[in-house]
Amino acid sequence: MGIVGLGLIGGSLGLDLQRQGLEVRGLVHRQVTAERAQARGLAQRVSTDPQLLGGCRLVVLALPLDRLLEPDPALVAALPAQAVVTDVGSVKRPVLERWQALHPRFVASHPMAGTAQAGVEAGVPQLFQGRPWVATPTADTDPAALRQVAALAAAVGAQWLCCGAADHDQAVALISHLPVLVSAALIHTAHRQAAADPAGQLPALVRQLASSGFADTSRVGGGNPELGTLMARCNRDALRQALAGYRRSLEALENELERSDWSALQQALAESQHLRPQFVLPAQEIRPDPASAPDLPAAGGSTSGPTG
């Protein structure tokens, strides 16, 4: 198996798949990254040469969205024609349109897992355990290739599901991309409102009093700014719609506050309390099923599925 990019997602995949007994090859952009990835054991073989992918039966493109949409021609040329190729990008329509024309066995997919970390130091074991792994196949998607990507998701304990690319992008705009911008706005608001009192205690006090509530709601806004910008750029229309809806919700709460309509405010908060578990139920524990992954190549060239 080949993994192109050994940051948070690619590195975590490499760690998990090696534990399943699979041979993993990692392709990275810089030699210093290759050396560090090798030292961390993110893959058995790591190189900056795309020819490393020769002979791989499944290749995961764990690349930023801009490099998925404008891929290195040397990478495209090095992908084996019979290999299944999938990606991990958080926006699917533009990636699907680009890669369906580049490789006959491409499957657009997106593991919904992550942390605030990035880069070659970020990969951790079991990142995908119990998390959704979404595929957005079309009528032209190779069914066998789709099954192989489903087997990959099962091997790392993820929950597999399929949907249309447009539906995916609208959904992640609401539950993934919108929270990044909302969280960033929260951080900016706390900083700027406090900074308006430079001679007083407020700038220091808001930082001293910030606790778990602020930490939880600000986490994604303090993440990688390049990734956040790429998500917004590639999913602009859906994100604009999500922001408009959020603005309307804020205005409704503001109006209730302005009118001192505590009954309406309590009702809105009670509705939020009721709805929240539908979005953040604890992830189910999933154990990889060897029978569901017949096509994953084991180390040494065997075609037996992973065990454990």
The three-state DSSP-derived secondary structure of the chain is CEEECCCHHHHHHHHHHHHCCCCCEEECCCHHHHHHHHHHCCCCEEECCHHHHCCCCEEEECCCHHHHHCCCHHHHHHCCCCCEEEECCCCCHHHHHHHHCCCCCEECEEECCCCCCCCCCCCCCCCCCCCEEEECCCCCCCHHHHHHHHHHHHHCCCEEEECCHHHHHHHHHHHHHHHHHHHHHHHHHHHHHHHCCCCCCHHHHHHHHCCHHHHHHHCHHHCCHHHHHHHHHHCHHHHHHHHHHHHHHHHHHHHHHHCCCHHHHHHHHHHHHHHHHHHCCCCCCCCCCHHHCCCCCCHHHCCCCCCC
**Strands ordered across the beta sheet of 159-162:** 109-111, 132-135, 159-162
Measured distance CA(217)–CA(183) in Å, rounded: 6
- In a domain? residue 72: yes
297 pLDDT higher than 60: no
Contact (CB, 8 A) for 99 and 76:
no
Within this chain, do residues 8 and 106 fall inside the same structural domain, yes or no? yes
Within this chain, do residues 210 and 234 fall inside the same structural domain, yes or no? yes
Q: Per mean pLDDT, which range of 3-17, 170-184, 279-293 is the poorest?
A: 279-293
Measured distance CA(152)–CA(150) in Å, rounded: 5
What local confidence, expressed as pLDDT, does residue 200 receive? Answer: 86
What local confidence, expressed as pLDDT, does residue 298 receive? Answer: 45
- In a domain? residue 308: no
- Residue-wise pLDDT for 181-223, tens only, equals 999 999 999 999 999 988 889 999 999 999 999 999 999 999 8
305 pLDDT higher than 50: no
User: Angle of helix 31-40 relative to helix 8-19, nearest 10 degrees?
Assistant: 40
Contact (CB, 8 A) for 116 and 5:
no
Report the DSSP beta bridge partners of residue 4: 27, 61
Average pLDDT over residues 159-169: 97
Within this chain, do residues 69 and 103 fall inside the same structural domain, yes or no? yes
282 pLDDT higher than 80: no
- In a domain? residue 79: yes
Within this chain, do residues 27 and 57 fall inside the same structural domain, yes or no? yes
Give which of 94, 93, 59 is closest to 77, Cα–Cα: 59
- In a domain? residue 306: no
Within this chain, do residues 57 and 156 fall inside the same structural domain, yes or no? yes
Within this chain, do residues 189 and 103 fall inside the same structural domain, yes or no? no
What local confidence, expressed as pLDDT, does residue 223 receive? Answer: 85
What local confidence, expressed as pLDDT, does residue 124 receive? Answer: 95
What local confidence, expressed as pLDDT, does residue 308 receive? Answer: 27
Q: Which residues span the domain enclosing 134?
A: 2-163+284-301
Within this chain, do residues 203 and 251 fall inside the same structural domain, yes or no? yes
What is the pTM assigned to this prediction?
A: 0.86
Check which CATH number belongs to the domain holding 14 and give it.
Answer: 3.40.50.720
Within this chain, do residues 98 and 9 fall inside the same structural domain, yes or no? yes
Average pLDDT over residues 68-77: 96
Within this chain, do residues 59 and 39 fall inside the same structural domain, yes or no? yes
Binned at pLDDT 50, 70 and 90, residue 296 comes out as: low
Check which CATH number belongs to the domain holding 232 and give it.
Answer: 1.10.3660.10
- In a domain? residue 233: yes
Average pLDDT, the chain: 90
Measured distance CA(188)–CA(176) in Å, rounded: 19
Within this chain, do residues 36 and 115 fall inside the same structural domain, yes or no? yes
Within this chain, do residues 136 and 260 fall inside the same structural domain, yes or no? no
Within this chain, do residues 132 and 213 fall inside the same structural domain, yes or no? no
- In a domain? residue 16: yes
- In a domain? residue 156: yes
How many separate domains does the chain show?
2
